[in-house]
Amino acid sequence: MEVILADHAGACYGVKRALDLAYEAAGASTGAQTLGPLIHNSGVVKELEEKGIGVASTLDDISADTVIIRSHGVTPEVLDALNEKGCHIIDATCPHVLRAQKAALDLSERGNWVLVLGEKGHPEVDGLKAWAACGGGKVSVVSSIDELPDNLAEPIGIVVQTTQTEELLESITQELANRGLHFELHNTICSATSKRQNAVIELAQNVDAMVVIGGKNSSNTTRLFELCQKYCHLVFHIESIDELDKSSFLDVKTVGIAAGASTPDPQIASVVDCLRTY
């Protein structure tokens, strides 16, 4: 069986940066905690814990002096609370997410009805929503055309969750145009995401099966999985090789490998090595 790794598979700039900052903090004598799991990867979270970087699920769980903000970023309220607690903050918010937060705030301060295109309840989207709300304007989180408010009115500003698809953005902007509404667009989809998605679309069309590696709760990995399903009839979303069954690949001559932005290289390598033995 031929195993083909998609271009741009695996950990992105923002995740690598967050991991580097966390591993640097591992040497701190006063201890450090991440606010929420640093990345959607249980193996990496466990490894960090072994190095003394624990996870605080909520602000109340914080017991260490140093707190690491993950690449998704946080709301202004959380930032204020951390400062009030006197925490030493290591801000690993991805610069691309920071850019989206600033755009959300700026649009809102200028009186726009801010549309945050993204997945409701995702920490990055919650952050974008809160930054927009901070500017005093109206904010709506929208993940499909059906969720666009009926009474939506100009001026409208748009920011996009960094891991969203261009397809969602296009469908929403098309619908706004159909309604005759004008808008100011900040396409904050991260190029790491779009490059990864385009590479996966290309590969999925040319193989018999696709294996997508990454956390089941990772939104960018889930999106890769969904894209693969559009272009390939046999697709697996796994966190580790143990979840694959050799018998599923009996008729497969070529398999493509995709990996989410929070999937470390060694995890990808182990899946590739194992599939090559099938």
List, by residue number, the catalytic residues.
Answer: 124
Q: How far is CA 233 from CA 67, 119, 212, 225, 253, in A?
A: 43, 25, 13, 11, 14
Collapsing DSSP to helix, strand or coil, 34 comes out as strand
* Per-residue exposure over 194-205, b if at least 16 CB sit within 10 Å of its own CB, e if not: bebbebbbebbe
Q: Is 262 left (phi over 0), alpha (psi -120 to 50) or beta?
A: alpha
Concatenating the DSSP letter of every residue in 100-120 gives: HHHHHHHHHHTT-EEEEES-T
Residue 13 binds ligand SF4, judged by CB under 6 A:
yes
Binder among 163, 164, 219, 267 for ligand SF4 (CB under 6 A): 163
- The mark string for 93-112 relative to ligand SF4 (x by CB under 6 A, - otherwise) is -x-xx---------------
Residue 190 binds ligand SF4, judged by CB under 6 A:
yes
Taking the complex as a whole, how short is the minimal distance between the CB of residue 224 and ligand SF4, in angstroms? 11
Q: Which stretch binds ligand SF4 (CB under 6 A): 7-15, 128-136, 138-146, 235-243?
A: 7-15
| Binding-site size, ligand SF4 (CB under 6 A) | 14
* Residue number, 18 or 25, with CB nearest to ligand SF4: 18
Instruction: Report the 10 Å Cβ neighbour count for 90.
Output: 17
Contact 25, 61 (CB under 8 A): no
* Residue number, 23 or 149, with CB nearest to ligand SF4: 23
Sites for ligand SF4 among residues 214-273 (CB under 6 A): 261
Taking the complex as a whole, how short is the minimal distance between the CB of residue 127 and ligand SF4, in angstroms? 12
Taking the complex as a whole, how short is the minimal distance between the CB of residue 4 and ligand SF4, in angstroms? 22
Amino acid at 49: E
Contact 102, 128 (CB under 8 A): no
* Residue number, 41 or 162, with CB nearest to ligand SF4: 162
* Residue number, 9 or 192, with CB nearest to ligand SF4: 192
Sites for ligand SF4 among residues 132-151 (CB under 6 A): none
Extract the tokens encoding 77.
């309220």
Extract the tokens encoding 128.
């974008």
Binder among 3, 6, 9, 15 for ligand SF4 (CB under 6 A): 15
Which residues does residue 3 pair with via DSSP β-bridges, in sequence order? 255
Taking the complex as a whole, how short is the minimal distance between the CB of residue 174 and ligand SF4, in angstroms? 24
Residue 208 CA to residue 210 CA, distance in Å, equals: 7
* Residue number, 64 or 222, with CB nearest to ligand SF4: 222
Taking the complex as a whole, how short is the minimal distance between the CB of residue 20 and ligand SF4, in angstroms? 13
Q: Edge-to-edge strand order for the sheet containing 209-213?
A: 2-5, 254-259, 209-213, 235-238
Collapsing DSSP to helix, strand or coil, 122 comes out as coil
* Residue number, 2 or 167, with CB nearest to ligand SF4: 167
Residues within the interface to ligand SF4 (CB under 6 A): 12-15, 71, 94, 96-97, 162-163, 190, 192-193, 261
